[in-house]
Every structure is written in C-alpha cells, then in structure tokens.
Amino acid sequence: MADDLKKGLEGVLVAESDLSSIDGDAGRLIYRGYAIEDLARGASYEEVLYLLWNGHLPSEDELASFTEALTEERTVSDDVLATMERLADADEQPMAALRTAVSMFSATEPETDADPENLDATLRKGRRITAKIPTALAAFERYRLDEEPVDPDPDLGLAANFLYMLTGEQPDDIAAETFDQALILHADHGLNASTFTSMVIGSTMADIYSAVTGGISALSGPLHGGANQDVMEVLIEIDESDLDHREWVEQATDEGRRIPGFGHRVYNVKDPRAKILEERSKELAENGDDKWYNYTTTIEQYLSEEKGLVEKGIAPNVDFYSGSVYYQLGIPIDMYTPIFAMSRAGGWIAHVLEYQDDNRLIRPRARYTGPEDQEFVPIAER
C-alpha cells in the first residue's frame, strides 16, 4: 500500500483540520462546524475571518476590536504603490501584480524578526496581509485606468471598501452585501492546490508572506483559479453571437465544446456556494440587467435536463455563478482570480497556523523510474 502511486495525491490523507469540511455527495460545506449557507447569509467576511483564525464566532466587542485592527492595517507603502503603477504601465497580469505586492508587504513588517514558532506574531502578520491585499489590488486597477488610487475608507467593511477603492464610489447595499457574501464563500475549501501549497511552505517554518505568495502562485494556474473568468468570457461570447442563448449552448455542446463552470474535483452535485451566488445573481438582475442571469440559468437547465450532466456528477460549481455576479458588480474580468485570492488568503493563513501548531515538514517521495548503473564518461571522451 505504501508504494501505491497516487497521482495528484488524490485521496491521500495528509493532515487533520478543524477548519472546513466538504461532503461532495450531499453538497455540503462547513467552516468550523457552521453551514456555509448560515455564514453567507448571516455573517460578515470579517466574522468569518475571525472564526477561521480564532476557532469561534466573535462577540460584538471582539468583532469591533478585530475590525478596527484590520482597518488600521489597510494602508500600503509608497513603494508598493509605485510598483503597482509600474506593473500596470507594463501591462502585467493582475495575479502577478498581486504576487509581487504581497511579497513586498514584508519590507514594512514591524515584526519581521519574530520567532517563526511564535504563532501569535504569525497571525498578526497574516492580519496585515489580509488588510493590505484589497488596497494594493484596487490601486493596480486604478493605475491601469490611468487614475489615482483611492484611499481606504475606515468607515467601510473590507468588502465595501474594496469596491469603493476600485470605483471611487461607495457601493449600494446590495452590491456590498453581494461582494461580502462572495468573499465568505471563497474563504476556505479544504486542501485545494493553493491551500496545500501554502501549507507545504509553512511546514518549512518560512514566514507567512512566503506562504501566501506561494498560494497566490498556485491559484494563478488555469486549472485552479481561472474558471470564473472562463465562464464570463463564454457568456460574453453568447451575448455577442447571432444565436439565442439556448441555441448557442445547444450548438456548442453538439460541437463538443466544454462549458466552463461545470464539474468539481470534490462535488458530485451542485456546489452549495453556486446555489447562494445564483440567488445573488437573481437579486442583482432584478435591480439591473437580467441577461447574464438568464444566460446562466438557461445553460444550467439545458446541461442538466437535456444533457444529464448532473446525473453524471457534473454539476455547476461556484465559478459558474461567481463570474456573472462579479460582472454585474462592474469588476473587470481579469480581476476575478485576484479577488479569489483576496478572499482565500484568510483560509491559507488559517491552515498555515493550524499546521504549524503541530508542525512536521511535508516531504513526500517519488518512485524512481530512470535508468540504473549508468557508466560515467569524462567530458573529453563524450
């Protein structure tokens, strides 16, 4: 059994965690025992961060102190802003810009010399990273538009503040609540590739800046973090075609095209996060343009009823609805994955802290399949 090869570590148990649990057959996701539906509909992103990092939901006083601490850490250095401007001018990809920004945050870290085993210091560093990511990301987008960054508003929560810094206008309640909910839904999801990457880095007792930077790098891959962007690009293609949206999806599937946003490595039924975002998409449609909601629901209905994908365990995942929700909020398409990272950073930090509390260097092995007993020939004789 020890020599069985498990490509991609599929099904291999490598850690125990109190943070999140997924039941792929029942379509159930919990954070520390709380159903994702309850948290998304009843809590704020800050409350969920507190839950992941501290093990329990905060009281009103605890939340006020926690939120104040996050708010105080939102400002980024002039050097980070200058770098975001240079990267925007160079037409850098947003995920690469975010990776660079997080790595630079450590230059102004006041506890840079803290003992790696001081998990309280690591948590405070993680709080600073989480607070600063929205500011750097919004500044990068503003520079791409040849506009000046917008300073953080201390009176706004993390989600509403990001939308404000992105557009320069305070979001309405529906937009702020929708985006806050989206951040909650993406905060953690077991040992996915980016979370595991962060844990591997954390297991070496590298600093949390390195772990989060590694998580961002893993999430940037198209097999992990880019599906919601792919979904929106398909919806735009539908919108620009001469076909009715149902005719488009029929033709596309007949031609063998794969529709992004369907299927998941863990879920065999509809992703519970997709159900929640579908509700938000509908609410946004009722207060604006309803075509994106109509496109997604038509595609889901056709692939479910006519193609039987759900019966085959290929159901809508969170990306299927998050793409159109972000688009309805006016967020640029290539910012979708960085926003995913902005949310998931809280989960990466929680997993690193949890693993380092009972740390063991992660060191798997590979089965050697190369040649044996090669005879070495000096370079002059080759």
Q: Is 216 exposed, middle or buried (0-12, 13-18, 19+ CB in 10 A)?
A: buried
The active-site residue out of 186, 189, 245, 264 is 264
- CA–CA separation, 262 vs 249, rounded Å? 13
- CA–CA separation, 311 vs 266, rounded Å? 15
HSE-up (13 A, CA, CB side) for residue 266: 19
Q: Phi-psi category of 308—alpha, beta or left, where left has phi over 0 and alpha has psi -120 to 50? A: left
Separation in Å, CA 20 to CA 119, 124, 169, 267: 20, 22, 35, 14
Q: Which amino acid is at 28?
A: R
Residues 6+ apart with CB under 8 A from 106: 112, 207, 209
Strands (DSSP E) along 224-300, which ranges?
A: none
- CA–CA separation, 246 vs 252, rounded Å? 10
- Catalytic site residue 56? no
Q: Give the closest residue to 272 by CA, choosing from 27, 4, 108, 23.
A: 27
Separation in Å, CA 286 to CA 68, 174, 292: 34, 11, 11
Per-residue burial over 92-116, b = 16 or more CB atoms within 10 Å of its CB, e = otherwise: bebbebbbbbbbbbbeebeeeebee
- Catalytic site residue 264? yes
| Rounded-to-10 torsion of CA 104, 108, 112, 116 | -50
Separation in Å, CA 191 to CA 99, 247, 344: 20, 38, 12
Could you tell me if 209 and 105 are in contact, meaning their C-beta atoms sit under 8 angstroms apart?
yes
The active-site residue out of 319, 334, 351, 358 is 319
Q: Which residues does residue 28 pair with via DSSP β-bridges, in sequence order?
A: 23
- One DSSP character per residue, 322-345 reads HHHHHHHTT--GGGHHHHHHHHHH
* Residue matched to tokens 């803290």: 114
Active site residues: 264, 319
